[in-house]
Amino acid sequence: MSFQHLLAIETSCDETAAAIVDQTDDADRPWAVRSSVVASQVAIHREWGGVVPELASRQHVRDICGVVERALADADLSWSAIDAMAVTQGPGLVGSLLVGVSFAKAAAWSLGRPLVAVHHLAGHIESIWLDHGRIPLPAVVLVVSGGHTNLYLIRREGEYVLLGRTRDDAAGEAYDKVAKLLGLGYPGGPIVDRLAADGNARAIRWPGTRLTNPDRNHPERDGRFDFSFSGLKTAVLRHVRARQAALGQDRLPAAEVRDIAASFQRRVVETLVERTFAAARWYGARAVGVAGGVSANAHLRSEMTARGAAVELPVFIPRLSLSTDNAAMIAAAGLRQLARGRLAPPDLNADASLAL
């Protein structure tokens, strides 16, 4: 194999990550994670209730060298053993992206090795192949993260056709906002996930939002596979404000908070599962994939798997460490591109709103 060890760097948001992924000789499992290091900035941003872009870029600058050196040490490799590099070019916070892009360009240039530029969402999608090897095609893949809720059709490996996306908030963003208004802290997704497990998911009936149109010839052009979460977020806000007013205090009883979290989560997961499987049916998919930070959600994982079992479609979700932001997935997407000879130009720049 010409490219055996690929070093990837990911700095699109608030995680500084580096990983080394090997190209194998096994066509069904072409990639093997050799090391994967993630330095989280959660403790820094928690104080502000969300990611502060300027603080994020500064912390990336502080962490990047140590994170890359740790990835090399964990892989038991020296710099000279690296055959190629990959880096997240976008989308994300431009200051954060620039740290990774500048580092990768300088390192690749000084090593005399090829560099590939990776789209962050291609990384999330490829995390499924990285963890499970080849999956049956065509596949419908849902990418749910803090910034995106996108549904893709994959007919051929490495080719991503957008079928639908959120019209307003991303699912992860809705989790984070609902957690904030319930006074639960940041990031909200994992906290709501944990609390919801002990709540009554049928305690509250939210008003319905339906985006589904009747069957048409081009459902993706009609937005039939689009999502919307801002209505639900507003419904939760109204409910919480009304309850606070009724109780005459900001703090709601813990049991009630758990019920709100569970009822909110039930609606989000229901929507994600319905739309994903509707698209899978429409396109005759032979597999369903779920990736991105929200795919770490316990209820989403179990509902997707259960629905897949019910309709006899295999469901592929990466393990937790590959669900949330990491560089191993960027390495996988990088190896995919490298195999096609798509190298980054020497004047590669970060692109905060890069299209896939």
- 229 lies in the binding site for ligand KG4 (CB under 6 A): no
Q: 82: buried, middle or exposed (CB in 10 Å: 19+, 13-18, 0-12)?
A: buried
Q: 190: buried, middle or exposed (CB in 10 Å: 19+, 13-18, 0-12)?
A: middle
Stretch that binds ligand KG4, among 49-57, 140-148, 209-217, 280-288 (CB under 6 A): 140-148
- Out of ligand KG4, Zn ion, none, what residue 296 binds, judged by CB under 5 to 8 A for its kind, is ligand KG4
- 145 lies in the binding site for ligand KG4 (CB under 6 A): yes
**Beta carbon nearer to Zn ion, 131 or 325:** 325
- 59 lies in the binding site for ligand KG4 (CB under 6 A): no
Stretch that binds Zn ion, among 53-61, 93-101, 125-133, 137-145 (CB under 5 A): 137-145
DSSP state string for 238-304: HHHHHHHHHHTSSPPPHHHHHHHHHHHHHHHHHHHHHHHHHHHHHTT-SEEEEESGGGG-HHHHHHH
Distance (Å, whole) CA 37 – CA 71? 6
Distance (Å, whole) CA 129 – CA 125? 8
One-letter amino acid for residue 125 of the chain: I
State which of positions 295-354 bind ligand KG4 (CB under 6 A): 296-297, 324-325
- 325 lies in the binding site for Zn ion (CB under 5 A): yes
- 289 lies in the binding site for ligand KG4 (CB under 6 A): no
Write each residue from 10 to 49 as x if it is in contact with ligand KG4 (CB under 6 A), else as -, in one continuous string. ---x------------------------------------
Distance (Å, whole) CA 141 – CA 280? 9
User: How many residues appear in the chain?
Assistant: 356
DSSP classification of residue 227: B
Distance (Å, whole) CA 218 – CA 74? 48
- 145 lies in the binding site for Zn ion (CB under 5 A): yes
Distance (Å, whole) CA 338 – CA 326? 19
- 126 lies in the binding site for ligand KG4 (CB under 6 A): no
**Beta carbon nearer to ligand KG4, 30 or 292:** 292
State which of positions 166-205 bind ligand KG4 (CB under 6 A): 172, 175-176, 187-190, 193
Residue nearest to Zn ion (CB): 145
State which of positions 267-286 bind Zn ion (CB under 5 A): none
- 193 lies in the binding site for Zn ion (CB under 5 A): no
Distance (Å, whole) CA 205 – CA 268? 13
Contact residues toward Zn ion (CB under 5 A) are 145, 325
Contact residues toward ligand KG4 (CB under 6 A) are 13, 145-147, 172, 175-176, 187-190, 193, 292-294, 296-297, 324-325
